[in-house]
């Protein structure tokens, strides 16, 4: 089990990592995980469907019923708008709560994917059920707090003329990963470890995120657009390898497979 003390010590003594080696290793690892990466995107879309239905279906059904009943009479439409306005606050609250719930579940699935990635990287057997390893009450509550912390950090960064967003995107990219591999850590320790690693390898990770995101999008679009579902998860692989080579897993020393 990693502790925040051991994590910070490993970050402090982190080896030099080579951009090209990490990127090529990411491609090799992606060859093992692309099916699970596709399932992650598929599950995420399926989770979002209730939210989409919640937003659009009431509008569509109400408008259809109004037109069928009154033939689109302007006076009737004004009455409909007045009634609907009375429910707007409740509707906004439902949307907000729905977004929070779905976002937390999505983070749990991403955490499960990181766990699956580690298992495949170590040639272990995985099942579809491994995606839902963190979809449990105690884990979801911690992910909820972590998500709120992310919102606060992002909001503060955005208020500072948006430039700090570019900075915090690197440490925040490790939030879910730190949780996946260290679920026993507190939220504050997860944030502390993520910022420590993000600060230490900021330029490297920033470059990896940009290049891997562009590559995943371009290749996905070349595959008739649908390919994005297969390539989108590639962006998680470089940051995983940075974590693996700096922090490592459990109490074992991190093994650096990257040329210094």
Q: How many CB atoms lie within 10 A of CB 82?
A: 9
Tell me whether residue 100 is in a domain.
yes
260 part of a folded domain:
no
Which range is most confident: 74-78, 89-93, 144-148, 256-260? 144-148
What is the arithmetic mean of pLDDT over 104-123? 95
Which has more pLDDT, 140 or 56? 140
| 255 domain residue, yes or no | no
pTM: 0.85
Does the residue 221 lie in any domain?
yes
Write out the residue range of the structural domain in which residue 84 sits. Answer: 4-246
CA distance 242 to 199: 13
- The answer to whether residue 252 sits within a structural domain is no
Q: CA-to-CA distance for 76 and 87, rounded, in angstroms?
A: 17
Spatial contact of 197 and 10, defined as CB atoms under 8 Å apart: no
Determine, yes or no, domain membership for 204. yes
Q: Does residue 84 form part of some domain?
A: yes
Looking at the structure of the chain, the number of domains it has is 1
- Does any domain span residue 251? no
Give tens-digit pLDDT for 226-250.
889 999 999 999 999 999 999 998 7
Residue written as token pair 């990693």: 2
Contacts of 202 (CB under 8 A, 6+ apart): 167, 170
């Amino acid at each position: 089990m990693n502790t925040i003390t051991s994590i910070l010590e490993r970050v402090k003594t982190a080896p030099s990592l080579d951009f090209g080696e990490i990127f090529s290793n990411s491609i090799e690892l992606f060859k093992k995980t692309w099916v699970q990466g596709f399932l992650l995107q598929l599950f995420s879309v399926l989770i979002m469907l209730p939210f989409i239905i919640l937003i659009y279906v009431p509008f569509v059904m109400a408008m259809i019923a109004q037109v069928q009943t009154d033939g689109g009479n302007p006076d009737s439409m004004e009455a409909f708008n007045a009634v609907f306005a009375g429910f707007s606050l409740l509707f906004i609250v439902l949307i907000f709560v729905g977004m929070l719930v779905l976002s937390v579940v999505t983070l749990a699935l991403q955490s499960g994917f990181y766990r699956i990635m580690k298992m495949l990287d170590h040639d272990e057997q995985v099942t579809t059920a491994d995606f839902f390893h963190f979809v449990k009450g105690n884990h979801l509550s911690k992910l909820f707090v972590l998500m709120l912390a992310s919102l606060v950090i992002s909001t503060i960064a955005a208020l500072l003329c948006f430039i700090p967003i570019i900075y915090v995107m690197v440490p925040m990219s490790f939030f879910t990963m730190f949780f996946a591999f260290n679920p026993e850590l507190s939220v504050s320790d997860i944030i502390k470890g993520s910022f420590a690693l993000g600060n230490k390898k900021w330029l490297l990770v920033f470059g990896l995120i940009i290049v891997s995101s562009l590559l995943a999008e371009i290749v996905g679009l070349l595959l008739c657009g649908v390919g994005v579902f297969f390539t989108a998860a590639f962006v998680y692989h470089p940051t995983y390898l940075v974590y693996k080579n700096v922090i490592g897993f459990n109490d074992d020393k991190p093994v650096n497979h990257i040329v210094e």
